[in-house]
Amino acid sequence: MRRAFLLLALASLAGAAAPPAAQRPARKKVVLIAGKKSHGPVGNGIHDYGWSARLLRVMLEHSNVKHQVRVEHHLDGWPRDPSTLDDADTVLVISDGRDGDLYQEAPHLARPERVRRFDRLMKRGCGFLTFHFSTFAPNRYSADVLRWSGGFFQWETAGKRQWYSAITTREAEVRPASPGHPVCRGLVPFRLREEYYYNIRFKAGDRGLAPIWVVPALGGRKPDGNVVAWARQREDGGRGFGTTCGHFYDNWKRPQFRKMVLNAIAWTAKVDVPAGGVEARFYSHDEIRRALGEAGPPR
C-alpha cells in the first residue's frame, strides 16, 4: 500500500511539473531558403546551398533546442508559396547575390514585391539572417538591408562594380568579439580556412549592432573591417544577423562553425540560446536524406 501511495504521489508531482500542452510556448518557426547551386556541380563542397539548408534543418531538429523550433526549408530559391513566410519567426537566406552583371540578386532582393514582403516581415519583428554570398546587396537596397540585418557586402560604388568590401581565401584565427552576446555563447577562438568577405558596410554609430566574429589577420579598415559575423537588435523588436563565412561546405564539420550559425538562428527566432550554445553534430548526406525522408537523385 505504501508503495502504491508513493507511486501515486510521484505521478501527481510529475503531472503538476509539466504544464498542459495548451500552456507550453509555441515552437518558433524557422524558414531556410536555399538559392540555386553555383560554382560547379552539386556536391562539390562549394556554395552547396541546398545541402547547407538541409543540414541546418536536420541539425536544428536534433539539437538541444529541438523542442523549441519547427523548421522548413525551400530549395532553388523563392518558396513556391510565399505565404509560408507570413508566420515565420526567422528567415535565413543561403544563396548567391548579384555582383555587377554577374550571378543573380539574392531571392529576397530579386523583385520589388519581395523586398516589400520582407520589409513587412521585419516590421512585425521577424528575424533575418544572411550567409556568405547572400550578404551581397546593391546600393538601392542598402538602407533596407542595414535595418534588417545590420551589414552587407558593398560591391557597387556609384552604380559600378567597384568594391568597398573585399574577399580573400586563407586560414586564420577567428575570435568571438562580444562575449556577453547570446550568439557568442559557447564560442572560443579557433582556426578556420574560409573565403572571408571583409570590410563590410555597416551603419556608422549603429547602437543595435554587435560584432560576433572577427579575424584580425585580415587587416581590414578600422574600426570594423575585420568583422565577418555580426548581430543586430532592431528598433522594431526583431533581430538580424549576417556572416560572410560559408564558402566551403566542409566547414560544417567544425563544431565552432556549426554552433555560431545555430546560435544565430535561435537568437533571431527569439529562442533562448543555451549557456553553452546550441549543440548539434554534423550529418552526412545519406543521414540527411534519411532524416528528411528524401528519395530520388540528390539536389
What pLDDT, on the 0 to 100 scale, is given for residue 21? 52
Q: Is residue 108 part of a domain?
A: yes
The residues pairing with 4 across neighbouring beta strands, listed in sequence order, are none
Each residue's pLDDT tens digit, 166-213: 999 999 999 999 999 999 999 999 999 999 999 999 999 999 999 999
The boundaries of the domain holding residue 64 are 25-292
What pLDDT, on the 0 to 100 scale, is given for residue 7? 45
Q: Is residue 34 part of a domain?
A: yes
| Res. 3: pLDDT tops 60 | no
Average pLDDT score over residue span 53-74: 98
pTM of the model: 0.91
What gap in Å lies between CA 159 and CA 163, rounded to an integer?
11
| Res. 145: pLDDT tops 90 | yes
Q: What is the residue-averaged pLDDT of the chain?
A: 92
Each residue's pLDDT tens digit, 277-286: 999 999 999 9
> Cα 113 vs. chain centroid, distance in angstroms?
23
Q: What is the count of structural domains for the chain?
A: 1
What pLDDT, on the 0 to 100 scale, is given for residue 296? 63
Q: What is the CA radius of gyration of the chain?
A: 20
Grid coordinates standing for 178? 562580444
What pLDDT, on the 0 to 100 scale, is given for residue 149? 97
Question: Which CATH number characterizes residue 230's domain?
Answer: 3.40.50.880
Give Cα separations from 86 to 31, 81, 83, 113, 257 (angstroms).
10, 10, 5, 14, 29
Each residue's pLDDT tens digit, 210-250: 999 999 999 999 999 999 999 999 999 999 999 999 999 99
Q: Is residue 17 part of a domain?
A: no
Question: b/e per residue, 87-117, with b = 16+ CB within 10 A?
Answer: ebbbbbbbbbbbbeeebbbbbbbbeeebbeb
Instruction: Please report which helix (H) or strand (E) contains residue 190, including its range.
Output: strand 190-198
